[in-house]
Amino acid sequence: MGAAIEPSTEKIATRVAYGKSLVELAKSNQDIVVLDADLSSSTQTKFFAKEFPERFFNMGIAEANMVSTAAGLAKAGKIPFVSSFAMFATGRAWEQVRNSVAHNHANVKICATHAGLTVGEDGASHQIIEDIALMKSIPGMVVIVPADAKETEKVMQAVTAYNGPAYVRLGRSALPVLFDDKYNFQIGKANVINAGEDLTIMACGIMVSAAAEAAKILKEKHNKSIEVINIASIKPLDTETIVNSALKTRNIIVAEEHNIWGGLGDSVASALLENCSEKLSFKRLGVNDSFGQSGKAEDLLIHYGLTAENLVKLSLEMLH
């Protein structure tokens, strides 16, 4: 727990970091193979396809078949990385993810891009805001949502070393760079990136940089001390860090680019209900049980209230 982390002016999409990390990992690990559903330019697995064409499989627009094939490759000793848009990788292929991958504890990594509202103009049909709920409900499935490009690199290293199924949620839009090479990611661990006393903002994915920005505004303009926790590991969840922070500040906001039903907020609420007997104030900030719509990513985040400014507003309401 060091100095407060502030979003950088540099922006990189987590999908780009994913694609480039695959190449670096595959140079030293011959077991890594990649399967894509005819979207390699979008998912950024194109870098891997160019570097290792013999280990890249374009499965066409047949996501269920892609996932089942990956399960077979895993049972043959390979480490398959499966990529498509999150809507299709988790929605269309859910049965195969459950039965072929998770039920067999197959060592398959489902790294899905274009998750959440920030798919933008593609609209509600592609803006999956239910994928965390879908994937965390599957027994034995690890669920991770990195906050920036550097964390994505660390996540890639961790899931490659982990023996078992994992879902990594990646985005389309470029995000502020928060972390450097010293940043430490571990499956099952949350990271306190800004220590505080008055209120805790727990966030994942794109909302981590919004939380960091909100903490800065609340400190400078309102003299409020805000703790910010990056919960990239949704499942397994770091209950200890969550509970310790909640008991310290007694005020908690959970922010995510996902439906508030079934997402990170529900996981945190359950952890607090089961482990805290003290009175706490708790709010969830996410998409409130509605579908997305077509529009520019930044406009959609404003429309649905997923901004640093709205986090500031909610924090002040809770603290007054």
Gyration radius from the chain CA atoms? 19
Give CA separation, 97 vs 64, 77, 90, 140, 285, in Å: 8, 18, 8, 11, 28
Q: Which of 262, 308, 314 is nearest to 288 (CA)?
A: 262
Phi, psi of 201 (to 5 degrees): -110, 120
Known active-site residue 197: no
Phi, psi of 209 (to 5 degrees): -65, -35
Go through the chain and tell me how many residues it has. Answer: 320
Under DSSP, the state recorded for 44 is S
Catalytically annotated residue among 24, 63, 130, 153: 63
**Do 67 and 110 form a contact (C-beta atoms < 8 A)?**
yes
Helices 239-249 and 264-275: crossing angle in degrees, nearest 10, is 70
Residue 312 makes CB contacts below 8 A (sequence gap 6+) with 214, 217, 218, 222
Q: Which helix (H) or strand (E) holds 30?
A: none
Query: Is the bond leading into 236 cis (omega within 30 degrees of zero)?
Result: yes
Count of CB atoms within 10 A of residue 153's CB? 22
Strands (E) in the chain, as ranges, are 11-13, 32-36, 56-58, 79-83, 109-112, 142-144, 166-169, 174-176, 191-194, 199-203, 226-230, 233-235, 251-259, 281-287
Q: Which residues are catalytic?
A: 63
